[in-house]
Amino acid sequence: LAQTPLFQGVPEAALQVAREAFVARSYPAGKLIFEAGDLGAALYVVQSGKVRIYRTYFDGRERMFAYLGPGEVFGEMSLLDDQPRSASAEVVEDAVLLVLYQDGYWSLVRRYPEILHNLAVILAKRLREADLELEVLSFEEARGRVAYALIKLSRQLYNGGNKLRLTHMELAQLSGTSRETVTRVLHALRDEELVKLGSGSVELLDPSGLEEVMLGLR
């Protein structure tokens, strides 16, 4: 818990209280934690493993919002506003999640308002990311979107690592485009020596070049 941004700068005593308020739960890979539209007001901290946040639309298509790893927080939106879950959450790699229910949440933030500030910082970060995403997805061409998805995956799933294992379908879900378009764009990026393609893998050869592509600069 001490590692999560939720408890940055919070007194040690708060961590003691928090350890009692959070409940640890183990989830196997593939387990659905909750679905978009569910009612439920618990916040989760990833202790270990990996979780993905996504939405499924009526026509069966999926949009991937994020991959979350150790220390990261999700489910705070319904906890804060009592509205249904805005997205679905599924375990990608066996995970231990720390769950905080509303009672525990209130007793914590009443005593340690720093936690509330940290939660606001987490939401501000997410809004910044969502703004960037909106910009890239609404204005940039397919190549910008695909470049954006590669950069996002590298940051979220590989801690900045450059060799990504993924299918063209996954990349399509992340970049809000079709699989055929992903294949076409990847071939172009390969020809420009920005990526190297393997079977089931994409290596980012020039991350800053890809950032330029993402912003429509090249």
Out of 67, 74, 112, 148, the residue judged to bind ligand CMP by CB under 6 A: 74
78 binds ligand CMP (CB under 6 A): yes
H-helix segments, the chain: 12-21, 76-81, 102-111, 114-139, 142-158, 168-175, 179-191, 207-214
Neighbours of 6 (CB within 10 A): 24
86 binds ligand CMP (CB under 6 A): yes
Residue count at the site for ligand CMP (CB under 6 A)? 14
What is the sign, positive or negative, of the torsion defined by CA atoms of 66, 87, 62, 91? positive
Of the listed pieces 5-13, 68-76, 168-176, 191-199, which binds ligand CMP according to CB under 6 A? 68-76
Neighbours of 128 (CB within 10 A): 10
Q: Are 198 and 168 in contact (CB under 8 A)?
A: no
> Given the complex with ligand CMP, which of 125 and 187 has the nearer CB atom?
125
126 binds ligand CMP (CB under 6 A): yes
Least Å distance, CB 62 to ligand CMP, is: 14
| Binding stretches for ligand CMP (CB under 6 A) | 53, 65-66, 74-78, 85-87, 89, 126, 130
